[in-house]
Amino acid sequence: MAAKKMLIYSASPSPARQVTPFWKEKYEREAGRYWDLFYRRHKDKFFKDRHYLDKEWGGYFKARDGEKLVVLEVGCGAGNTVFPLIASHPNIFVHACDFSPRAIDLVKAHKDFSEDRVNAFVCDLTQHNLNEIVAPSSVDVATMIFVLSAVSPEKMPIVLQNIRKVLKPNGHVLLRDYAAGDLAQERFTSKEQQISENFYVRGDGTRAYYFSNDHLTTLFEQNGFETDEVSVYSKQMENRSRELVMNRRWIQAVFSLNFSDGQESVERPGNDLCTKDPASDLEIDMSESITAMFDSAPSINEITEIKLKNCNFRIKVLGKEHQHTCKSTGLMLWESARFICNVLSENPSIVSGKKVLELGSGSAGICSMVAAQSAQLVVATDGDKESLNLLNENIAANVEPNLLTKLVVKKLLWGNADDIKDIKDLAGGFDVIIGTDVTYNSEAISPLFETARKMISEDCQGERKPALILCHIQRRVDENSILSSASNYGFKLIDKWFNGIESNGGIISSWFSIDAATCNNGLQNAPLTILYFCM
């Protein structure tokens, strides 16, 4: 009996969690940079040339005898629309724009590029005035192939108004883009990659919007266009080697200027302006390949160098731009870990001769590596298997062999009795427990203190009682919840330090020989907080 194929699509998507306002603003501000990185990585190898344009819209590209047809290709990328057009239509001149300078370089480096056929230029239509480069009312056809979806919804009207300025009175916009309900939209929803309704960020930082018929037609009509045709197409694709069935959906439309002055539209011969039925033989050209979709976990290939007083580390981590598109936050190197590893390097007495536990060390584990140089024993822990695998790799690459015997890596899910017992059987109680950027999830705060309570030593060594040291960046952290939970488990706040200002005790200030900048390592302006607890 043949194995049943798995359908990779859900008709009832689960509620999506949105990225934080900080990252939403960053993705908007640096949209051009993310696409530039995309073209640096893929060059002109990612998209297929769009030879289907003639099949779908051939009539729009037929110039009258002796005329030169002017086309504006918005978001030209590496030229996958431009070069099939000029190859098929000798009377076409194309203005090709993109907000990625690297994409424009790829167009100009193409073997068929010629300045008398193509004007390629960098332009962000959400910010720049297209009229400064393209003459008003000079364009016959504007093509938008999987490009409007890359623009934030609130700025889409700016793009359409920019295009409207350069279109002739009888000009048309030809659009193909993502449709709501496409497989990729469901995948983004399940991976918590939503920026706003129907708008998502990919793993590489580029973005995609998924259109409905109503939304797309309303958007164009509110900005001075008429809808000539609009259809949503569906195609079911199979990956036979993986026994996956994938539903792809895209929207295709033609718009023309709204002739409010009574002038009539001029239809070009051969155009079918009726709504088309979805066809199974239409060519798909989505702006991410099937392989990229299902094997899209970003590679862990970013090397971060940490230079300290007595040692240097080269840590392999996932780039920070993937923070909101990767389930495992432990694959990133966080600011607080950088800061505390500097503190430990400058002040080995904090852990000297003691048993140290790092909670949520992630894949970097730099605090544990520094502590191992002077501590009696260090146990680096995390609950994520992938983070632990990379942590072991980073330790092997950075820690001297003679220190490996006292640096142990263990799985620890906070509150898990088996994990806690396994570590206590190995080390007993700990004199110092360290956690950096481990309090951002409010639901995890109580299990964190429950685990720390069971792990901390009951014995005193010298003047200092066993301590729990937490450090975090003030993002989503609710400090009142932290202090309340700490008190519930018997921890007392002995000292607090916030961005160079201490409110209690003097313990933390003694770690800084001159000022906080000594250990801050470039994080002087970050809103860092250190909390020092004892039982």
What average pLDDT values come out for the chain (535 residues) when binned by 10 residues? 42 57 84 84 75 86 83 93 91 94 93 95 93 94 94 95 94 94 75 83 86 95 95 74 67 84 43 40 50 45 80 78 53 82 93 96 92 96 89 92 93 95 93 92 89 90 83 75 94 87 77 56 62 94
Give the residues across from 474 on adjacent strands: none
CATH topology classification for 19-294: Rossmann fold (3.40.50)
Token pair, residue 142, equals 């504007």
Asked whether 283 and 52 are in contact (CB, 8 A), the reply is: yes
Please report where in the chains the tokens 């129907």 appear, as a residue: 198
Token pair, residue 493, equals 């706040």
Asked whether 432 and 350 are in contact (CB, 8 A), the reply is: yes
Give me the pLDDT at residue 3, please: 44
How far lies 456's CA from each of 378, 428, 450, in Å? 13, 9, 10
Q: Which residues contact 217 (CB under 8 A, 6 or more apart)?
A: 227, 230, 253
Q: Which one, of 220, 158, 193, lies nearest residue 288 by Cα?
A: 193
CATH topology classification for 302-534: Rossmann fold (3.40.50)
Angle between helices 442-455 and 479-488 (to 10 degrees): 30
- CATH 3.40.50.150 in the chain: give the residue spans: 19-294, 302-534
Cβ neighbourhood burial of 66 (10 Å; 0-12, 13-18, 19+): exposed
Query: Strand, helix or coil at 234?
Result: strand
The sign of the torsion formed by the CA atoms of 254, 257, 258, 263 equals negative
Give me the pLDDT at residue 240, please: 56
Asked whether 213 and 233 are in contact (CB, 8 A), the reply is: no
Asked whether 61 and 53 are in contact (CB, 8 A), the reply is: yes
Among the residues of 43-91, which ranges form H helices? 52-57, 82-88
Length of the chain: 535
Distance CA 519, CA 167 (A): 58
